[in-house]
Every structure is written in structure tokens, then in C-alpha cells.
Amino acid sequence: MARWTKPAMKEVAAEERAALGLTPMQRFDPYMLAKEHGISVYPIGELIASGCSPDAVKHFEVIRPKVWSAALMPVGSARFMLVNTGHELVRQRSNMAHELGHHLLEHEFQEIVLGDDGCAMFNATLEKQATYLAQELLVPEDAAFKMAFRDQPNEAVAEHFGVSVQFAQMCMMGPRKVVQRYRAKKGR
């Protein structure tokens, strides 16, 4: 497993955004990046046409949508992604960015291990890396600093970048603290 540093992951995200023609302040489209990497994206509901049980799809989309968000799946050397359309669009976008993070960081596919509760258990380090890269794809730190200096609330950041208010808050926490310390030193 490669040892990824935050600066290296930030650079990967910046390169991918630049390849899509995006500045740090522009909204990222995970579908565009998936297409750029040859990754087809399918809503879970489309599995019914391929023989998946409608009850299974209903389970994940309606009955227990929080159990499963998105998955990057290997098919030989190719990849495809399944997305739970039972989630709000902002959550689908962050889920896709997270899965694209695994792809961009070249994480190897792990065998699925189920815990006592029947839920999958994952490598925490790989998950943190994919989450950080998703943050940099969706709300780059440079953009978060600009928004922090402009005193933009989480709701405005969320709207601007197409993420949930909770995701915006997570991305803005560090930059806001830095801006607050900077202003305290400058006596503003």
C-alpha cells in the first residue's frame, strides 16, 4: 500500500480538476471525472434490468438507504461504479468523489470482511485517504480558504460547490480556524 501524504493527495486532486478545466472555485462534476477515467456509473435501480431482485434494490434505496452509498467495482482491469440513488444528490456526489478517490489513489480492492453485525469492515487508512481526496475534489482547500476569508457560511459553501451543509462544514473547519488565528494576530 502506497503511503499517501496530504500534500500528495492534494496535488492529485488539483491535477484531476485542472484536467477537467476547473479552477479551485468551480463546481466539480464526479460524473465527468468518472467518464474521463473510463468508469461507467450506474444507479442501483438499473440492476433490476440485469436480473437483480427488485426487493434487494428497494431494500437499499428505500428501506435501509443509509446502509450503502456507492461502490467502485472491478471487472477485469476495468472499473464501474454503482450509486445509491436513494440518497440526496449532494450525498451521491460526495459518495462518488469518495469512490473516485480510491481509484485515483490506486487502492487495491480488498476482500469484503463482514463484522458481527453483518456490515462490511474496511481499512480505516484507505477510507480516510479516499475521504480526504473527495474533499479536495469537491471543495479544494484553497477554495475553502477563500470562502473562509469571505466569511461564507456553510450553507453558501454547500450551495456553491454542490455538497451537503455537513460536508461543507467538514471542509471549512480547518480553514476557518486558520483565518480566525490570522485575524486575531492582525488585530482585526
Q: What is the pLDDT along the chain (188 residues), one digit of tens a residue?
A: 568 999 999 999 999 999 999 999 999 999 999 999 999 999 988 888 888 888 888 888 888 777 778 888 888 888 999 998 888 999 999 999 999 999 999 988 765 544 455 555 578 899 999 999 999 999 999 999 999 999 999 999 999 999 999 999 999 999 999 999 999 999 85
Q: Is residue 70 part of a domain?
A: yes
**Unique residue bearing C-alpha cell 434494490:** 57
Which of 138, 159, 175 finishes a domain? 138
Q: Is residue 167 part of a domain?
A: yes
CA pair distance 176, 41, nearest whole angstrom: 34
**pLDDT value, residue 33:** 98
Sheet with 70-75: strands ordered across: 40-43, 78-83, 70-75
- Asked whether residue 156 falls in the same domain as residue 121, the answer is no
CA pair distance 153, 148, nearest whole angstrom: 8
Range of the domain at 175: 140-188
Cβ pair 102, 89 in contact under 8 A: no
- Asked whether residue 75 falls in the same domain as residue 118, the answer is yes
- Asked whether residue 119 falls in the same domain as residue 43, the answer is yes
Burial 21-54 (b: 16+ CB within 10 A, else e): ebebeeebbbeebbeeeebebeebbebeeeeeee
- Asked whether residue 127 falls in the same domain as residue 155, the answer is no
**pLDDT value, residue 111:** 56
- Asked whether residue 132 falls in the same domain as residue 145, the answer is no
> What's the total number of domains in the chain?
2
- Asked whether residue 12 falls in the same domain as residue 38, the answer is yes
Predicted model pTM: 0.88
Q: Is residue 1 part of a domain?
A: no
Phi-psi region of 57 (alpha: psi -120 to 50; beta: other; left: phi over 0): alpha
- Asked whether residue 148 falls in the same domain as residue 127, the answer is no
